[in-house]
Each structure stands twice: as structure tokens, then as C-alpha cells.
């Protein structure tokens, strides 16, 4: 494979050291290079096998490779101990999880895993497909979309990453500035969307990689809609760093004739395979590992609004209430044993969410708020709420949209009252009142997007960093040694320790690049803003 040796070695070391709660985590990992080779040998169709591997690892999902198992434990260290917790979607009850929960980032090596897994499990498979562009242009275009979907999570987490020369075969990969990585994302999405749109307009009923695609079952139209929506997401991500680039890329996403995701039929999620073993990672974390419960922030917002979607997202306590856990606390045994804390409402057969169509409507609403009309912004905002309700099968959207009185709530810790916050998190209603100021409407859009895209916490954390919304409860205990501001909250993860040991010169250069792009250049720590994190209000 062409993936750099330094990254490959770092990944294997990181997978072995990023232990989760399962006790046999080391036994649940395998060499991803061998996994790729084995998958390719199953049917001799490298294109389908490599594409399938890519989709399974955008967000870690359950996989059996030979006798080895991968999935829920890796999801935990990549998604749940980072994005979900930093966004207030979940809160830890396991007393050993103090590195992430209390901002002592380097206390344990869980922060390595997103970086390492992305290169060994996504990029290694993409490198199998890249040389096949001439023979399989549409299939590789789909793979390019998956590549961007996976790797934007990585750069949003760390900042500079190796990206521009991934297929070069270099032994030591240098890190690229995040601005350059994002420009490449837009180039790749532009080319992939153009290739697939031409194909789709000529053969709208022809599917690609149907037997290997557990997201859209080979539906090219759905892949185009997802790519357009992803492009719009990334366009708005950079709006405070480069407004002109953001507007141009947003307009390109909106002008494609196939359009954006709009309804439940467009839902992007990795589906449970029709046959074979499967685990839904949040179910395993909350019901089997017993490590977390719902988060205090999302609880406070949804309880304050009396949100009808709560029963879809959370399990009510015996008293019919919903209570979560605040981050930055020292969880005691009382949290783990409490019957008054709610779990995520899920089963072990659930699909793994990538992107909800409601997000597309909220992205359009923000576009209109910035560069269009307030009337259109309101229309799309309200349609985003309706789409979220309908996708979840929940009634009451119109009453919810019209609610002028309900506000986000305060937070009461039902286990330890000392961790409560008496003041309400925010003072914005659901109802859009015409003529409001920009920030009020932006806060409404982002808050409702935050609720709608639960439980995709990585994206929620990125949007909080970009906009400051919703207003996430700060940690109670901050063990960062002053590197992370309690009120501004964590802005990124440190570069992997495995990269320091195998690619040190490149990491040193990456830290200099990070500082040069940042509005708060304090080095390789959780308080340094990444390139796009330049909101002047924050």
C-alpha cells in the first residue's frame, strides 16, 4: 500500500494503547493492512471491497475481519470520548474517564485514535481505489466523497493533517495547512459531484456498487445529494476564516441540479448489514460497557423546550423525566448506580447516523441569513424542524415551531446538586420572530440543528466551536493546566503521541503551521484554535 510507514506504525501503536472500558480492547483490534488484503481476496473485486471498507470507517462501526472484531470500543474513543462529550450529547459515569472529561488530554492516549484509524482504515482503502479512476470513474468519485466525509472530521479535530500527497508513497508524510486541506476538499467534491451528475443525468436508474454500499445501496442520486450537502456544511465551516470562499462554495453546492438532502429518503446512515453480526456502538457504551448517560446540555435544551423528540432520543426515568450528566465532573459510584439518569434510546440493531436531511435545511437557512433573505431563512429553518420531526416519526412540529414562550432550561444534577447550574443556558424561543438580529436567528438555527443531528457529536462540537452555539455547559473541573479556557472550552485535540514517536520532525512543522493559522497560537494543545475557528465574537 502507498500509505506512509510512519502513519501505519503510528496507527497500530495507537490502536493498542487507546484502551476503552471493555477489558479485552487489545484483543478486539487487528492490523488494518491485513484487513484490507483479506477483504480484497473475498471476491477479487477490489473496487467494491475497498469502498465498503471506507464506508464502514467514516465513523467506526462494527466489523469482523477474520476472527478479529473492531467497532464499538473504537467508536467510544473516537466519537464518544471526544465529540459527543465535548458537545454535551453524552456525559461520562465511569470514574476512570478523567483525561477527556477533565481536559487532561495527554493523561491517556485515547486522543490518538481518530487520526490513526482514519489513515489505516479509510485512506489505506482509498489508495486501492485511486489508481482505478480511468476504469471506474463513478465508483472512485463516490470514494472521494466518502474520503472527504471521513477526513474533514480528522482535520476539524487536530488542525493540520497529512492530506495533499496521500498517494505519493512517501515514507514520512508532512502535514498540510488546514486551509490547504479544505481547498482540496472543495476540489475533490467539485470533481466527484460533476462526474456523478453527468452519469446520473444520463442513467438515473443505474446503480453503482450496490452490493457494497450500505449507505445508499448504490443510488447515485443520493450520493450526489449527500455530497452537495457535505459541501454546504464545509462551506459554512470556513465562513469566519474566508467568507468569500464560503459563499462561493455554498453557491456551488446549491446550484447543482440534483440538489441537497431534503427528506427521510435521503438520510445518510451506515445500515446494519442484512446478514452477519452487528453492534450499535452507543448501545454497547450505554448498556453493556455502562460508561455514559445522556448529556446535561442537550437535556437542558430539550427539557426547557418540552421537545417531543425527547422520547425518541432518550429513555425516561421511572418518574417520566429525562436527566443527564454534566461534563467536567468527578463521577462517583453514585452516578453509575443512579436510576435517575437517562440513557440514549437505542437498540443494538440501529443504523449508524452520518447526516440527517434536517441538517441540509438548517444549512440553507444559515446561507440565506448571511447572503439571502430573512424570509427564506425562516422558511428553511422551520422546514428543518419539520424534517427532523418527520424523519423521527414524531408529531407536533407545528405547535413546536409556533412556541414563543418555552426557553432552554437550567441544569439540575440529580446525583450531586453541587454540579447543577441554576441559570438557564440560553434565552431563545423556538419561534422565529421576524426582524430579529442576526445573532439571535443564527443561535436559533444552530440550536435546532444541534438537536436534530443527535447523536453525531463530532459535527455538533465543530459547530459549537465555529459559532458558539448552542451554549454548552462548561466543565466543572479543568485539569488542562491553563491550556484550555473553561468558558471557551476545548478547541482541538493534541497531535497523536504516536506521531511524535515516529514522525517527530513533521509534527514539529505541523505545530508551527497550526500556530501560523490560529487566532490563538499557543502550540499543540487543546486551547489552540484551528484555522477556521475565527469567529470574532468568541
User: Could you tell me if residue 458 is inside a domain?
Assistant: yes
Q: How confident is the model at residue 254 (pLDDT cuts 50, 70, 90)?
A: very high
Mean pLDDT of the chain: 91
**Sequence-ordered list of residues with C-beta below 8 angstroms from that of 508, at least 6 positions apart, any chain:** none
Residues 36-51 have pLDDT tens digits of 444 444 443 678 999 9
Q: How confident is the model at residue 35 (pLDDT cuts 50, 70, 90)?
A: very low
User: Could you tell me if residue 234 is inside a domain?
Assistant: no
Structural element, H or E, at residue 352? strand 352-355
CB neighbour class for 406 (10 Å; exposed up to 12, middle 13-18, buried from 19): middle
What is the CATH number for 436? Answer: 1.25.40.390
Do 283 and 350 contact (CB within 8 A), yes or no?
yes
User: Could you tell me if residue 77 is inside a domain?
Assistant: no
Quote the crossing angle between the two packed helices 357-371 and 374-392, to the nearest 10°. Answer: 170
User: Could you tell me if residue 19 is inside a domain?
Assistant: no
User: Could you tell me if residue 263 is inside a domain?
Assistant: no
**Sequence-ordered list of residues with C-beta below 8 angstroms from that of 10, at least 6 positions apart, any chain:** 112, 115, 116, 496, 498, 499, 501, 502, 503
Q: How confident is the model at residue 276 (pLDDT cuts 50, 70, 90)?
A: confident
User: Could you tell me if residue 192 is inside a domain?
Assistant: no
Angle at 503 between CA 33 and CA 83, to 5 degrees: 70
Q: Which domain holds residue 442?
A: 281-467
Q: How confident is the model at residue 113 (pLDDT cuts 50, 70, 90)?
A: very high
Structural element, H or E, at residue 114? helix 113-117
Question: Cα(369)–Cα(492) distance, rounded to whole angstroms?
Answer: 28
Task: List beta partners, residue 292.
Answer: 92
pLDDT of residue 41: 40
Q: Helical H runs in 280-432?
A: 281-283, 296-305, 310-313, 333-337, 357-371, 374-392, 397-401
> For the chain, how many structural domains are there in total?
1
What is the separation of C-alpha 87 from the centre of its chain, rounded to a whole number of angstroms?
A: 10
Q: What are phi and psi of 52, to 5 degrees?
A: -60, -45
Which whole number is the average pLDDT over 153-182? 90
Structural element, H or E, at residue 235? helix 220-237
User: Could you tell me if residue 66 is inside a domain?
Assistant: no
Question: Cα(257)–Cα(225) distance, rounded to whole angstroms?
Answer: 10
Residue 344 has what DSSP assignment? B
User: Could you tell me if residue 396 is inside a domain?
Assistant: yes
Could you tell me the three cell numbers for 181? Answer: 486541506
Amino acid at each position: 500500500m502507498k500509505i506512509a510507514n510512519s502513519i501505519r506504525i503510528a496507527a497500530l501503536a495507537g490502536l493498542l494503547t487507546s484502551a476503552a472500558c471493555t477489558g479485552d480492547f487489545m484483543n478486539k483490534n487487528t492490523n488494518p493492512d491485513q484487513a484490507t488484503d483479506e477483504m480484497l481476496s473475498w471476491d477479487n473485486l477490489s473496487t467494491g471491497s475497498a469502498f465498503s471498507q471506507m464506508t464502514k470507517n467514516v465513523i467506526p462501526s462494527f466489523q469482523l475481519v477474520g476472527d478479529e472484531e473492531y467497532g464499538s470500543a473504537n467508536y467510544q474513543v473516537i466519537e464518544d470520548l471526544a465529540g459527543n462529550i465535548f458537545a454535551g450529547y453524552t456525559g461520562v459515569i465511569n470514574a476512570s474517564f478523567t483525561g477527556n472529561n477533565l481536559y487532561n488530554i495527554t493523561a491517556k492516549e485515547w486522543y490518538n485514535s481518530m487520526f490513526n484509524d482514519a489513515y489505516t482504515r479509510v485512506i489505506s482503502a482509498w489508495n486501492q481505489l485511486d489508481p482505478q479512476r480511468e476504469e471506474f470513474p463513478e465508483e472512485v468519485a463516490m470514494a472521494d466523497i466518502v474520503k472527504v466525509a471521513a477526513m474533514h472530521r480528522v482535520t476539524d479535530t487536530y488542525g493540520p493533517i497529512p492530506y495533499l500527497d496521500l498517494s505519493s508513497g512517501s515514507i514520512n508524510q508532512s502535514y498540510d495547512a488546514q486551509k490547504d486541506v479544505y481547498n482540496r476538499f472543495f476540489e475533490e467534491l467539485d470533481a466527484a459531484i460533476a462526474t456523478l451528475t453527468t452519469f446520473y443525468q444520463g442513467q438515473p436508474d443505474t446503480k453503482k456498487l450496490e452490493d457494497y454500499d450500505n449507505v445508499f445501496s448504490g443510488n447515485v442520486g443520493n450520493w450526489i445529494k449527500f455530497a452537495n450537502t457535505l459541501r454546504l456544511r464545509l462551506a459554512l465551516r470556513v465562513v469566519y476564516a474566508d467568507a468569500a470562499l464560503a459563499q462561493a462554495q455554498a453557491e456551488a453546492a446549491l446550484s447543482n441540479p440534483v440538489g441537497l438532502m431534503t427528506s427521510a429518503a435521503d438520510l445518510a446512515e451506515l445500515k446494519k448489514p442484512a446478514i452477519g453480526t452487528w453492534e450499535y456502538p452507543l448501545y454497547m457504551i450505554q448498556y453493556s460497557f455502562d460508561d455514559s448517560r445522556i448529556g446535561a446540555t442537550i437535556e437542558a435544551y430539550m427539557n426547557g423546550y418540552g421537545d417531543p423528540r425527547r422520547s425518541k432520543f432518550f429513555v425516561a426515568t421511572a418518574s417520566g423525566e429525562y436527566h443527564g450528566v454534566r461534563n467536567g465532573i468527578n463521577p462517583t459510584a453514585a452516578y453509575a448506580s443512579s436510576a435517575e439518569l437517562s440513557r440514549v434510546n437505542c437498540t443494538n440493531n440501529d443504523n449508524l447516523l452520518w447526516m440527517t436531511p434536517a441538517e441540509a435545511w438548517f444549512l440553507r437557512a444559515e446561507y440565506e441569513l448571511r447572503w439571502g433573505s430573512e424570509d427564506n431563512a425562516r422558511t428553511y429553518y422551520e422546514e428543518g424542524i419539520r424534517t427532523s420531526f418527520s424523519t423521527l416519526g414524531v408529531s407536533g412540529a407545528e405547535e413546536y415551531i409556533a412556541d414563543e414562550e418555552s426557553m432552554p432550561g437550567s441544569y439540575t444534577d440529580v446525583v450531586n446538586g453541587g454540579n447543577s447550574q441554576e441559570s438557564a443556558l440560553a434565552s431563545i424561543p423556538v419561534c422565529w420572530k421576524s426582524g430579529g438580529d442576526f445573532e439571535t436567528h443564527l443561535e436559533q438555527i444552530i440550536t435546532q440543528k444541534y438537536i436534530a443531528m443527535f447523536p453525531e457529536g463530532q459535527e455538533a462540537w465543530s459547530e459549537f466551536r465555529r459559532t458558539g452555539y448552542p451554549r454548552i455547559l462548561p466543565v466543572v473541573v479543568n485539569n488542562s493546566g491553563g491550556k484550555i479556557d473553561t468558558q471557551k472550552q476545548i478547541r482541538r485535540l493534541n497531535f497523536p503521541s504516536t506521531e511524535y514517536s515516529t514522525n517527530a520532525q513533521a509534527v514539529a512543522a505541523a505545530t508551527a503551521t497550526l500556530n501560523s493559522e490560529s487566532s490563538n497560537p499557543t502550540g499543540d494543545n487543546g486551547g489552540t484554535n484551528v484555522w477556521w475557528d475565527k469567529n470574532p465574537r468568541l
